[in-house]
Amino acid sequence: MNRLQRYLISNLSSLFFSIYLPLFTIASMIFLIKVSTYTAIIQLNFSEMGLLYLFTLPELFFYTLPVAFIVSTVLTLYRLSNDNELVVVFSLGLSPTHIAKIFSVPAFLLSLLLLIDFLIITPFINVTSANFLEKKKVEAKFNLAASEFGHNFGDWMLFINNSDDEKNVFKDVVLFNKAEKNEIFISAKKAEIINQNGITRLKLDDGKTYSYNDGTFKEMIFQTAYINNSITKKIKTYRSTLDYWTGEDRHDKKVRAFITNILLSLFPISSIWLILALGIVHARHQNRWIYLWLFVAVVAYYVLSVVLQQWTGFHAIWMVGISWVVLTYMLYYRLVGKRY
């Protein structure tokens, strides 16, 4: 039994990596394209692009690992069946249930890993990634430079004639703010953006302020003035996994994701009978469209996990789980169990 286990796992390992690496590469390219769309909103250098890609890895693993495991396990058994090696195993008195027990161990470990991934790791990564993007968005709003067009600085319209991008210093600036009954016009010879205690300010030197309110025009000369921005960072705080999933922020979306991801995490361990039903064949008498059935099975489970939870809520976890095990066992018994 131990020798058979080592033999099956070694065949599974070689085939798994040959399937997973191309799948992971394709999925990575898709996620990199998604990450690159952020450059239309914020400025990112190469290291920041790499950091955003690292933030996507838990989600990337979550969606690629179970599919690669199911496909590679089925193809492992299918190849051994075509080589008549499983016939030798069954002729020695071992039933397909012994193979099910062998593959149930890596399937269980993978399901456990997926649960840890989306329950514990993903919440922390999501909060960290959201805070990073929020910080970059705020910084992008203050990426000012000399231009014939104006910039928005909070509620102010800002015009810059000359700028020193390295020192973040601007010369000959003009600001304008118009409220319902008040208009303010400011000119200054020098301006500088400073960040103090998390508050972004525009420091103005050697300028004049003109205001018009209810028919009254006022002029004021100043040596130094500060204008605070009205843009606030929506920084989130990660406290614990329980706090993340039970928090009020996007609660409905989190509930849907929780139910769906539970079901997707259970996909490897709940598909043991499906693996045997599709993978174990008689080379002479059975010619299955294995790739078609693999595609149909994976899509069917994912669709059930996403759609059924919208109708039944948390009941979808046990409804999909039990029904999937029962249906795949019936398929296994019809195609394999009665023959071996």
Residue by residue, what is the 3-state secondary structure of 192-220?
EEEEECCEEEEEEEEEEEEEEECCEEEEE
Residues 113 and 44 reside in one and the same domain: yes
Region 322-333: mean pLDDT is 93
Residues 293 and 162 reside in one and the same domain: no
Closest CA to 271 of 17, 57, 74: 74
Domain boundary among 193, 228, 263: 228
> Is there a domain that residue 246 lies in?
no
pLDDT in tens, 239-278: 788 888 887 777 788 888 899 999 999 999 999 999 999 9
- Strand-pairing partners, residue 193, are 202
Specify the pLDDT at position 107: 95
> Is there a domain that residue 306 lies in?
yes
Residues 127 and 23 reside in one and the same domain: yes
Structure tokens at 133: 């993007």
Tell me the C-alpha distance between 153 and 209, whole Å. 17
144 close to 162: Cβ distance less than 8 angstroms: no
> Is there a domain that residue 238 lies in?
no
Structure tokens at 210: 């003109």
Taking the CB of residue 164, how many other CB atoms lie within 10 A of it?
A: 12
- Dihedral sign (CA 296, 328, 109, 71): negative
Q: Is the pLDDT of residue 231 over 70?
A: no
Q: Is the pLDDT of residue 221 over 60?
A: yes
Residue-by-residue DSSP string for 274-323? HHHHHH---TTT----HHHHHHHHHHHHHHHHHHHHHHHTTHHHHHHHHH
Angle between helices 46-82 and 122-141 (to 10 degrees): 150
Specify the pLDDT at position 149: 54
Residues 160 and 68 reside in one and the same domain: no
Range of the domain at 328: 2-139+254-337
Q: Is the pLDDT of residue 39 over 80?
A: no
Closest CA to 55 of 37, 32, 39: 32
Three-state DSSP at 63 gives helix
> Is there a domain that residue 233 lies in?
no
63 close to 110: Cβ distance less than 8 angstroms: no
Structure tokens at 205: 């030197």
Domain boundary among 213, 228, 243: 228
Residues 129 and 270 reside in one and the same domain: yes
Range from 35-44, 168-177, 323-332 carrying the lowest mean pLDDT: 35-44
Structure tokens at 78: 């299918």
Structure tokens at 41: 């909103």
Residues 66 and 86 reside in one and the same domain: yes
pLDDT interval class at 1 (50, 70, 90):
low
DSSP H helices in the chain:
2-36, 46-82, 85-91, 96-116, 122-141, 241-246, 251-265, 267-270, 272-279, 290-312, 315-332
Specify the pLDDT at position 248: 77
Structure tokens at 303: 């669709």
Tell me the C-alpha distance between 95 and 90, whole Å. 6
pLDDT in tens, 130-166: 888 777 766 555 555 545 456 666 677 777 777 665 5
Three-state DSSP at 169 gives strand
Closest CA to 65 of 121, 110, 103: 110
Residues 41 and 116 reside in one and the same domain: yes
> Is there a domain that residue 279 lies in?
yes
Higher pLDDT, 238 or 287: 238
> Is there a domain that residue 247 lies in?
no
Residues 195 and 292 reside in one and the same domain: no
Enumerate residues 6+ apart whose C-beta is below 8 A from 48: 136
- Taking only Cα atoms into account, the Rg of the chain, rounded to an integer number of angstroms, comes to 31
Closest CA to 227 of 269, 265, 175, 161: 175
Domains: count for the chain = 2
Three-state DSSP at 6 gives helix
Q: Is 52 exposed, middle or buried (0-12, 13-18, 19+ CB in 10 A)?
A: buried
